[in-house]
Amino acid sequence: MYTVPNLKEYLSDPIQQVADLLTALHEEAGAVQTESDWKVFRDRWMARKGGILAQVNDLWLRAAPPERKRDAGKRVNDLKARVEEIVEATLQGIRTGVPAARADSDRLDITLPGIQRAIGAEHPIIKTMNEVVAVFRNLGYSVEEGPEIETDYYNFEALNFPPNHPARDTQDTLFIANQRTKPPREQLLLRTHTSPVQIRTMEKMEPPIRIVIPGKVYRNDPPDASHSPMFHQIEGLAVDTNITFGDLKGTLDHAMKAFFGSSVKTSFRPSFFPFTEPSAELLVSCFVCGGSGKRSTEPCRPCKQTGWIETLGCGMVDPNVFEFVKDNGYDPSKVSGFAFGMGADRIALLKYGVDDLQLFFQNDVRFLRQFA
Ligand SMILES: [Zn+2]
């Protein structure tokens, strides 16, 4: 017959002690046949004087050293509640003829920690894209996306890259096989920039529009520290009446300060893109060296000691581009707009001080975990 052990050392193996006690309780409960059996059973366990719970109180709780009394008190209370529950369920079992089920929780070691599953996190490039997109969303831009397999028309022609134009050669294009029988403008390719989404959006939405376009793009570039055949761009487009180059400068200056910090300065340098005129490259003052070109005594690498970092290309939308969507309200004599585009991967490299783009795509969790 079960007797409450005298715990010489306070709860030396409390889980085993509690399990033994509950095992005995279940065995005795299983032997109860009648209500008078049950009264004996109840008194044996719950009598205020000499009941097993009373003994537990005396032998276990009192044996606990002062600093563990609180903890032991809680454990004993939990045990009491469990015993009372089983005693009550045994009575219900006799009355209904259905024996009380033994709870698996009696054997559960609630002191063991559970299995911790790793929580996912954004990839540093996705995180960078989301941060840039958030800057423009706060300015009232909406997000647009488009297909990664594009037609020649959307990727080149409607963006003012006529067939055989030399500007096409600057974007080493990956073409889909077996397209030569199709008319040139319908031939499929992997989009080389996110700009086709500008045309697709202007076809479905009348001006004014303000959109930002994040996405994957593809070019036939062998992978190295700063190139990848798949990379990411974020581009934007604003079209309305009376949009000027001043709006472009103000918007991008604000966006760069919001993203890189309010102390950066911006500078514009003339450039060329087929779909904008005039076109510019935007530079921000180096946020690593503060524009000095030096880090303490060492030369600053991110800005190549110039104090400036190129971040994006931009310009006023070329009226020739509007001609392709003129029927949807984009009359170049009535509306104007600006567009900009940046490489999200480059921004992420700069932001996180990583010097090899390939690290972002090897998906080694040990590397990626640093940015979570
Ligand atoms: Zn620098």
Work out the pLDDT band at 172, boundaries 50, 70, 90: confident
Work out the pLDDT band at 350, boundaries 50, 70, 90: confident
Query: What is the C-alpha separation between 199 and 160, in angstroms, rounded?
Result: 11
What DSSP designation does 313 have?
Answer: E
Q: Which two tokens stand for residue 296?
A: 């303490």
What separation in Å is there between the alpha carbon of 269 and the centre of ligand 1?
18
Q: What is the largest CA-CA distance in the chain?
A: 102
Query: What is the C-alpha separation between 6 and 55, in angstroms, rounded?
Result: 9
What separation in Å is there between the alpha carbon of 363 and the centre of ligand 1?
28
What separation in Å is there between the alpha carbon of 366 and the centre of ligand 1?
28
Mean pLDDT of the region 170-185: 86
pLDDT tens track for 119-168: 888 999 999 999 999 999 999 999 999 999 999 999 999 998 888 777 77
Nearest C-alpha neighbor of 207 from the set 238, 248, 186, 176: 238
Query: What is the C-alpha separation between 252 and 262, in angstroms, rounded?
Result: 13
What separation in Å is there between the alpha carbon of 108 and the centre of ligand 1?
59
Residues, beta carbon < 5 Å, ion ligand 1 = 286, 288-289, 300, 303
What separation in Å is there between the alpha carbon of 309 and the centre of ligand 1?
8
At 316, give phi and psi (nearest 5°): -85, 135
The answer to whether the CB of 136 falls within 8 A of the CB of 255 is yes
The CA-atom distances, in angstroms, between 113 and each of 18, 68, 109, 116, 262 are: 19, 21, 9, 8, 45
Is a pLDDT exceeding 60 seen at residue 95?
yes
What separation in Å is there between the alpha carbon of 292 and the centre of ligand 1?
6
pLDDT tens track for 326-345: 999 999 999 999 999 999 99
Query: What is the C-alpha separation between 83 and 103, in angstroms, rounded?
Result: 12
Q: Is 341 helix (H, G, I), strand (E, B) or coil?
A: strand
Q: Has this prediction a pTM greater than 0.95?
A: no
Q: Which two tokens stand for residue 87?
A: 């005693």
What separation in Å is there between the alpha carbon of 128 and the centre of ligand 1?
20
pLDDT tens track for 295-315: 777 888 888 889 999 999 999
Query: What is the C-alpha separation between 135 and 257, in angstroms, rounded?
Result: 10
CA geometry: angle 289, 295, 297, nearest 5 deg: 155
